[in-house]
A and B are shown apart, each in its own frame.
Chain A
Amino acid sequence: MSTEEEQKKLSDGIDETIDQLQELNYSMEKNIDDAKKLLDNLPDPDTTPDLFNTESEQLEEDILEKLSKVMKT
Chain B
Amino acid sequence: MSNLVDNIGLRKNDAIKDLKGQVDFLKESSDFIVSKDKKDFKKGYKEALDNLRLEKDKKNDLEKEIEGLREEIKKSEKEFQIDKEKIEEFKDNFPEEASLATKHLNALIKENSDIIDTLNKKIEDDQQSIKEVEENIKNKEIVIDDIKNKRKAHIDKKITEIKQNYGLETLNETKKNLSEKLEDINESLVGIEKSIEKFQSGINAFPDGSEGKRVYGEKLNDAEKKLKEAIANKDTLRKQLSKIENRIDQINNKVNKWEGLKINEGLELNTPKEELVPDQAVNNIDDGSPFTETSSVSLDTKDTNPGESGITGIISDILGDSSGTNEGGEPRENIPVEKKEIASNPEEKFKEAKTLNEIKEVIDSLDENDEFFSKSGRTKEELQSALMVLLKIKPLETADAGILPKTDGLRENIIRIIDEENNNSFVGNYSI
Contacts and interface: CB of A to CB of B under 8 A. Distances in A.
B290 A59 contact: yes
Contacts, number: 165
A26 to B, nearest CB: 10
Q: Specify the main secondary structure of chain B where it touches its partner.
A: helix
A45 B314 CA distance: 37
A15 B219 contact: yes
Nearest to B222: A18
A28 B230 contact: yes
Nearest to B257: A52
Contact of A35 (B185, B237, B402): B237
B223 A17 contact: yes
Nearest to A34: B174
Nearest to A36: B240
Interface of B: 26-27, 29-30, 33-34, 36, 38, 41, 45, 136, 139-140, 143-144, 147, 151, 154-155, 158, 165-167, 170-171, 174, 178, 181, 185, 188-189, 192, 195-196, 198-199, 202-203, 205-206, 212, 216, 219-220, 222-223, 226-227, 229-230, 233-234, 236-237, 240-241, 243-244, 247, 250-251, 253-254, 257-258, 261, 283, 285, 287, 289-291, 399, 402
A72 B29 CA distance: 9
Interface residues of A, number: 50
Contact of A17 (B171, B178, B195, B203): B195
Given A18-B219, A36-B240, A53-B399, 9 more contacts: A6-B202, A21-B192, A21-B229, A42-B166, A45-B251, A56-B258, A59-B154, A67-B33, A71-B30
Interface string A35-52: 110110011111000101
A67 B199 CA distance: 80
Contacts of A63: 147, 151
A56 B241 CA distance: 32
A18 to B, nearest CB: 5
Contacts of B147: 63, 66-67, 70
Contacts of B36: 60-61, 64
Interface of A: 1, 6-7, 10-11, 13-15, 17-18, 20-22, 24-25, 28-29, 31-32, 34-36, 38-39, 42-46, 50, 52-53, 55-56, 58-73
B407 to A, nearest CB: 17
14 contacts: A10-B202, A14-B219, A18-B226, A21-B230, A38-B244, A45-B253, A53-B399, A53-B402, A61-B36, A68-B30, A70-B283, A71-B30, A71-B45, A73-B283
A11 B102 CA distance: 138
B147 to A, nearest CB: 5
A38 to B, nearest CB: 6
